[in-house]
């Protein structure tokens, strides 16, 4: 599924990375634990998280995660946005909980990692 | 090709800046993406460990045609029982570290998984030395 369609079905705001919104996400992982995110080796991976800090973006950069959905409208700082933009990453802000966000994406055919 | 960087303990805002630089260098060298990911994840975990558990550190990276060798040397409390520290789930991380999304005791096992050779030396109340080797033609 394309990121722009994901943003649509989640009623999510695209905060940055407009050039990448036609990319396909095949897999999704939902976690606030960056230690765990760093153990995953899947391509075209999407992350749903409630943890909003610079390390969330850094972790995604190292893990080749190109899109992050921040659940419950977690605040995205300018510094996070800048780092995401430097790495051609899409950041989405969504008002739903991690549970609901995950449920919607799962129902729409995005694959789980485990 | 050799590079040297410094790490300041406790400063989470800087965690990952060295891995990020290395990632850009390896991309320019046209190294396979799978290898790049392994190397930068291992270095990132090691960077976070110095910041979370030690006082300061130094990273030396040596790239030749056969391998990438990374040495991370820190001044810090050291690791008393390396075998135990290597176990999944063992962590002495503070609540501050956990708030940052780390401290699950998964870093060292993940460095092992993402390296071809890992050598850990540590002296209690002096510091820790990690050598991570990744081969380029396998
Ligand atoms: N550079 C270091 N200096 C001192 N102790 C360390 C160092 N690196 C690791 N340790 C010790 O080994 C333990 C396990 O490290 P590991 O990286 O596996 O987990 P963690 O850092 O606690 O959590 P995570 O990596 O999941 O964020 C740490 O909690 C700490 O006690
Ligand atoms: Mg660690």
Helices (H), chain B: 17-28, 33-53, 82-85, 95-99, 107-113
Q: Tens digit of pLDDT for each residue in B4-26?
A: 999 999 989 999 999 999 999 99
Give the domains, in start order, of chain A with CATH numbers.
3-112 (3.40.1390.20)
Residue B24 near chain A (CB below 8 Å): no
Tell me which chain A residues have a C-beta less than 8 angstroms from the C-beta of B15.
Answer: 55, 58
For residue A19, report the distance from its CA to the centre of ligand 2, in Å: 34
Q: Number of folded domains in chain B?
A: 1
Q: What is the pLDDT of residue B138?
A: 67
Is-contact A105 A28, C-beta < 8 A? yes
Mean pLDDT value across chain B: 97
Q: pLDDT band at residue B31, thresholds of 50, 70 and 90? A: very high
| All residues at 6 or more sequence positions from B70 whose CB lies less than 8 Å from its CB, including other chains | B39, B42, B43, B46, B59, B60, B61, B62, B130, B131, B132, B133
Residue B78's domain is classified under what CATH number?
A: 3.30.565.10
Between the CA of residue A9 and those of A52, B28, B49, what are the distances in Å?
22, 37, 39
B101 CB within 8 Å of a chain A CB? yes
Indicate which ligand has the atom closest to the C-alpha of B98: 1
Contacts of B40 in chain A (CB under 8 A): 62
B123-136 pLDDT tens trace: 999 999 999 999 99
Distance, C-alpha B108 to centroid of its chain: 8
| Sign of the alpha-carbon dihedral angle for A99, A105, A106, A111 | negative
Give the tens place of pLDDT for each residue, B59-84.
999 999 999 999 999 999 999 999 99
Confidence (pTM): 0.97
Burial class (CB in 10 A: 0-12, 13-18, 19+), B102: buried
Tell me what pLDDT residue B90 has: 98
Residue in B91, B94, B103 to alter for ligand 1 test, most ligand atoms within 8 A of Cβ: B91
**pLDDT (mean) for B87-101:** 96
Write down the pLDDT at residue A65.
Answer: 97
Q: Mark the ranges of chain A whose per-residue pLDDT is less than 70.
A: none
Q: How many whole angstroms separate alpha carbon A26 and alpha carbon A46?
A: 8
Of B41, B103, B105, the CB nearest to A62: B41
CA angle, residues A3, A7, A9, in degrees to nearest 5: 115
User: Cα of B18 to ligand 2 centre, how many Å?
Assistant: 16
Q: Are A83 and A66 in contact (CB under 8 A)?
A: no
Q: How far is CA B128 from CA A40, B80, B86, B125, in A?
A: 26, 10, 14, 9
Flag if A61 and B16 touch (Cβ within 8 Å). yes
Cα-to-centroid distance, A59 and ligand 1 (Å): 17
- Tens of pLDDT, residue by residue over A74-93, are 999 999 999 999 999 999 99
pLDDT at residue B137, as a whole number: 86
The residue range of the domain holding B125 is 2-135
Ligand 1 neighbours (beta carbon < 6 A): A 35; B 45, 49-50, 52-54, 74, 76-79, 85, 90-93, 102-108, 128
Contact: A34, B106; criterion CB under 8 Å = no
What is the rounded distance in angstroms from the CA atom of residue B16 to the CA atom of residue B28?
18
For residue B89, pLDDT beyond 80: yes
Q: What's the pLDDT at B9?
A: 93
């Amino acid at each position: 599924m394309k990121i722009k369609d994901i943003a649509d079905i989640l009623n999510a705001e695209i905060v940055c990375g407009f050039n990448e919104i036609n990319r396909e996400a095949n897999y999704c992982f939902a976690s606030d634990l960056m230690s765990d995110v760093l153990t995953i080796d899947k391509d075209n991976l999407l992350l749903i998280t409630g943890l909003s800090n610079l390390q969330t973006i850094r972790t995604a950069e190292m893990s080749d995660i190109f899109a992050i959905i921040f659940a419950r409208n977690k605040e995205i700082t300018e510094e996070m946005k800048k780092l995401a933009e430097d790495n051609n990453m899409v950041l989405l802000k969504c008002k739903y909980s991690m549970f609901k966000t995950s449920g919607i994406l799962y129902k729409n055919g995005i694959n789980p990692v485990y | 090709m050799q590079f040297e960087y410094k790490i300041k303990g406790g400063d989470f805002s800087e965690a990952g800046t060295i891995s990020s630089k290395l990632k850009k260098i390896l991309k320019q060298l046209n190294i396979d993406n799978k290898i790049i990911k392994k190397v930068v994840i291992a270095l990132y975990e090691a960077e976070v460990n110095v910041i979370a558990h030690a006082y300061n550190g130094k990273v030396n990276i040596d790239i030749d045609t056969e391998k990438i060798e990374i040495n991370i040397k820190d001044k810090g409390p050291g690791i008393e029982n390396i075998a135990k520290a290597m176990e999944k789930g063992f962590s002495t991380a503070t609540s501050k570290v956990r708030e940052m999304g780390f401290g699950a005791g998964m870093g060292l096992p993940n460095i092992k998984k993402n390296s071809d050779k890992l050598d850990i030396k540590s002296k209690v109340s002096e510091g820790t030395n990690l050598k991570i080797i990744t081969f380029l033609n396998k």
